[in-house]
Structures are given as structure tokens and as C-alpha cells.
């Protein structure tokens, strides 16, 4: 049996390319996995490999804003793991992992955060947005909800 003091957390950023998965031991980043493949193709194999290699105690994912399809797929995969393996799933905002930069919505619309409100703004030139896995997740602000947060009305 693995030592519970070495329990790990996963942090999944699937709302943009590349998809990023960080593996954290005691809140400190120990491994980074990156892929240019689609979330639907690569996320489940990455998570299953991580579950085999590490004693995962929880999984955090970006629940908004960003690619709705990626958010939905990620949530369904993680919720299934939560139910089947009893590994809790938590959500966080994508803005906490890209220093508050604009996040692609659709076309040339981007999500931006103004104070506590998320709106869309049109950019003629796409802004450079980079997501990063923090070195430590001790202070990562988790949302009270883990369900996806949809910010645009259905098309």
C-alpha cells in the first residue's frame, strides 16, 4: 500500500491548447504532461496513466471559461472517476491559471474578467494567452461548484 502522506492531486487545464495536466505531491508540482491532441482523444489516457502511477486523492479542473466542448468532456470524465473511484473533483477559473489574460470564446470573441464579472470582448488581433501550471497549488482558489460554468447562451 502506498504512503498516504505522498498523496497526489491532479490539475487539468483542458480549455485551450495545449492541454496541460499537472501532478502535485503535497501541493508541489512534480510532473507536467502536455498534449496538442484534442481533449476527447488524450485526456482519459493521461488521467488513467496518472491514476496507475500515483495515489491521487483529488482532481482539479478549469470549469470556465473556454472551450465548452473541452469543459463538458473533462467534467464528464472527472465526474465518472469521482463516482467510480471516490476521488473528488473540484473546479477553478481559467483566469487563475493565465494571470487574468483574455480567454478565447468563439471567432474573435474572448472572455475577459472585469472585477468579478466575466464578459466577452472582440479582438481584431488575437491576444497572446498562455496557461501555466503553478509550481504550488496550496493557494489555488477553488470554486464552490465543480460543475461547468457556461457563460455564453446556446447558439
Q: What is the pLDDT of residues 87-126, one digit of tens each?
A: 999 999 999 999 999 999 888 999 999 888 888 999 999 8
Contact 3, 57 (CB under 8 A): no
For the chain, the domain total comes to: 1
The tens digit of pLDDT for each residue in 38-95 reads 999 999 999 999 999 999 999 999 998 988 899 999 999 999 999 999 999 999 999 9
- So what's the pLDDT on residue 2? 44
Q: Comparing C-alpha atoms, which of 144, 135, 155, 130 is closest to residue 63? A: 144
Query: Is 105 within the bounds of a domain?
Result: no
| Residue 136 lies inside a defined structural domain of this protein | no
28 vs 106: CA distance, rounded Å? 34
Do the domain assignments include residue 69? yes
d(CA 122, CA 71): 22
Q: State the pTM of this model.
A: 0.91
Set of cell numbers at residue 67: 472551450
Torsions phi, psi of 95, nearest 5? Answer: -65, -25
CB-count burial class (<10 Å; 0-12, 13-18, 19+) for 151: middle
Angle 39-53/68-85 helices, nearest 10 degrees?
Answer: 30
Position 143 in a domain = no
Q: Is 44 a member of any domain?
A: yes
Tell me whether residue 119 is in a domain: no
Average pLDDT over residues 129-150: 91
Average pLDDT, the chain: 91
Answer yes or no: is 134 within a domain. no
* Closest-CA residue to 50 (of 86, 71, 81, 75): 81
The full length of the chain comes to: 155
Is 146 within 8 Å of 63 (Cβ atoms)? yes
pLDDT exceeds 50 at position 155: no
Q: Which three cell numbers stand for residue 103?
A: 480567454
Q: Residue 87: give the domain boundaries.
A: 4-99
Q: What is the CATH number of the domain that holds 50?
A: 3.30.420.40
The verdict on residue 146 lying in a domain is no
Amino acid at each position: 500500500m502506498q504512503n498516504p502522506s505522498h498523496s497526489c492531486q491532479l490539475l487539468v487545464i483542458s480549455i485551450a491548447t495545449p492541454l496541460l495536466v499537472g501532478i502535485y505531491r503535497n501541493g508541489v508540482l512534480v510532473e507536467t504532461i502536455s498534449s496538442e491532441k484534442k481533449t476527447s482523444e488524450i485526456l482519459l489516457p493521461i488521467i488513467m496513466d496518472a491514476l496507475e502511477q500515483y495515489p491521487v486523492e483529488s482532481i482539479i479542473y478549469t470549469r470556465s471559461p473556454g472551450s465548452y466542448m473541452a469543459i463538458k468532456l473533462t467534467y464528464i470524465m472527472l465526474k465518472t472517476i469521482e463516482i467510480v473511484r471516490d476521488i473528488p473533483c473540484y473546479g477553478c477559473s481559467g483566469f487563475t491559471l493565465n494571470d487574468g489574460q483574455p480567454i478565447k470564446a468563439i471567432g474573435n470573441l474572448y472572455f475577459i474578467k472585469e472585477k468579478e464579472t466575466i464578459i466577452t470582448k472582440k479582438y481584431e488581433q488575437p491576444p497572446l494567452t498562455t496557461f501555466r501550471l503553478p509550481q504550488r497549488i496550496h493557494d489555488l482558489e477553488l470554486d464552490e461548484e465543480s460543475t461547468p460554468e457556461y457563460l455564453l447562451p446556446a447558439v
